[in-house]
Structure 1
Amino acid sequence: MGIERRRRVAGRRTGRTTAGPASERPTKAQRKEEARRERLEIQRRMARSRRTRWIAMGLVVVLVAAGAAYYAFRPRPKVQDPQELLAAAPQAAQAAGCTDVKDVGPYQPEALDRAHIGVPGGPPTMPPVSSYPSVPPASGPHNPTPWSRGVYSSPPPIDQVIHSLEHGAAVVWYAPDVSGAELAKIEDFYRDSSHGLKVIVAPYDYPDQGAAGTLPNGSAMALVAWHHVETCSSVSLAAAFGFTARYGIPPYGGRSYLGDAPEPATPI
């Protein structure tokens, strides 16, 4: 029996196999080809991964561009004509449940009506809002720095707003739970300074002031100028503009100024 045959027989008896002849082992060329195929497969996987990343990045860019285009060209509510609003103001004020404009008079003692807080001659801190002649306040001790015109989504410092009233500002206060299309119209309208150079629009919400920190009698809107207050049971752009056009400085369209701000020429 030959040597190779004896090996095969022995392997069958013991259950072990022995290495085949050298011709059954991969040659150097075969190993090289296998390595090449593995490299190609790795490269293909990497290429697919890169394509996936580029596609994902492209989608992100497209979505961002689409969002920017929508924001730039989205339909916006039409800003109403000021003259039409003024013509509609009396009827709108009635429909919104607005009171007549009240002259609430000066803060008492009157010597403090225009006093600055924290300076000689003025109180060291702001008195409670409940001590002012009206809610919201329309005069009285205030911060030495006025508040700037504009539309605000959070309550501004009330002591600075009072100072702005002294300079001829008109304020459109609204209750913090008010929302909806009419409030959006008010905000859009007054963002244009040509509709009120000294108009402030903001929520009235000062919990630390107790009952005086909310609008009175369930009002949704209060219109305030120096010594003057009008409250409404619902918000109305026409009613608001009917007030600010005559009680804010400068009055709109050459109308007569009905307010009595002591420093109307001073900016805010």
Structure 2
Amino acid sequence: MANKSLNKDRRAVINDIRKKQGRAERVRGAAIIGVCLVIAVLMVGAAAWKPITGFFKESKYDDVALQDIGKSAKAAGCQKVFETKADGNQNHIATGTEQTYTTAPPAFGPHWNEANVAPADMSRKFYSADDRPDLEALVHNLEHGYTIVWYDETVSEDELDLLRVIGDKFAGTSNFRYKFIAAPWTAADAKETAVAGDKKTEFPDGTHIAMTHWYADPANPTEASTQKGVFQYCEGVSGEAVKDFMTTYPYTDTPEPQAM
């Protein structure tokens, strides 16, 4: 009888230990799951934070006129618009062929011509360095009447937000007056740019924004001798400068204004 009682006590102790171990494992498991859930929530929140905050930043400009976005042209340090003789009219080079342009950034020149590659689709108004089309594709956009606002690698996040907002003002593909693209000018682009053997790879000192346009005489748009590259450099983002530039140099005075 004593042995039976002892064995019973041992089983009770073992069962009690097992129960405690089971509870401890469940607690540890729950803690691990809880930590994983917290980490997952934080990761999702971090991923969503920028788009959400970006949406609210941009939505506050819904009722703001283009010319009131960013600084005035003067406050943004916008330099005087200048023109230079253009070349490259209808000069379609094989897609994938690198072209050395003579200005930083380009306003004209030989360019690619391939469906779904060049020119870039009108539905996109803003590009980052990660998804921007090649220069040779964007120059074809210029030939079709686009104004491209280029930004260098030193612009601030606030300036990028303003460029996105400005791009939103030109949303759509049916109104050709909205032929607008904001795109980065990168260090890699600079390596492909030269003027008369001398490197001209950067924007003028102190400027970080450049607007370019490929001008042609509306009365005879295919006449290469009348074509010009139009440039304006600014220190910062100015909706006023963008509006004035695109009003003075609309899509209609380009080599191929009716092409998408």
Q: TM exceeds 0.5?
A: yes
Q: How does 1:216-231 map to 2 (within 5 A)?
A: 216-226=204-214, 227-231=229-233
Q: 1:201 aligns with which of 153, 172, 182?
A: 182
Looking at structure 2, the residues matched to 174 and 73 of structure 1 have their Cα atoms a distance apart, in angstroms, of 24
Q: 2:108 aligns with which of 139, 142, 151?
A: 139
Equivalence for 2:126 = 151
Query: For 2:119, what is the secondary structure of its paired residue?
Result: coil
Q: How does 1:21-100 map to 2 (within 5 A)?
A: 27-58=3-34, 60-61=36-37, 64-65=40-41, 68=45, 71=49, 74=53, 76-78=56-58, 79-80=60-61, 84-86=65-67, 92-100=72-80
Query: For 1:41, what is the secondary structure of its paired residue?
Result: helix
Looking at structure 2, the residues matched to 61 and 192 of structure 1 have their Cα atoms a distance apart, in angstroms, of 40
Q: Which has the higher contact order (CA 8 A, sep 6+)?
A: 2
Change in 2 beyond 3 A, CA 1:80/1:142: same
Q: How many residues align?
A: 222
User: 2:29 is aligned with what amino acid?
Assistant: R
Looking at structure 2, the residues matched to 234 and 45 of structure 1 have their Cα atoms a distance apart, in angstroms, of 65
Query: For 1:224, what is the secondary structure of its paired residue?
Result: strand
TM-score of the superposed pair, with normalisation by structure 2 = 0.68
Change in 2 beyond 3 A, CA 1:30/1:265: farther
- Alignment RMSD (CA, Å): 3.5
User: 2:213 is aligned with what amino acid?
Assistant: A
Query: For 1:97, what is the secondary structure of its paired residue?
Result: coil
User: 1:85 is aligned with what amino acid?
Assistant: L
1:139 offset after TM fit, Å?
1.3
Q: For structure 1, which runs of at least 5 residues remain unmatched after alignment?
A: 1-22, 248-256
Change in 2 beyond 3 A, CA 1:63/1:81: same
TM-score of the superposed pair, with normalisation by structure 1 = 0.67
Looking at structure 2, the residues matched to 35 and 88 of structure 1 have their Cα atoms a distance apart, in angstroms, of 79
1:65 offset after TM fit, Å?
4.9
* Aligned partners of 1:246 and 1:259 also within 8 Å: no
Q: For structure 2, which runs of at least 5 residues remain unmatched after alignment?
A: 194-198, 215-228
**CA offsets, 1:45-71, max 9 Å, x none?**
222322332244345445655764973
Equivalence for 1:181 = 158
Looking at structure 2, the residues matched to 245 and 56 of structure 1 have their Cα atoms a distance apart, in angstroms, of 61
| Percent of aligned pairs sharing the same letter | 26
Looking at structure 2, the residues matched to 92 and 213 of structure 1 have their Cα atoms a distance apart, in angstroms, of 27
Equivalence for 2:90 = 114
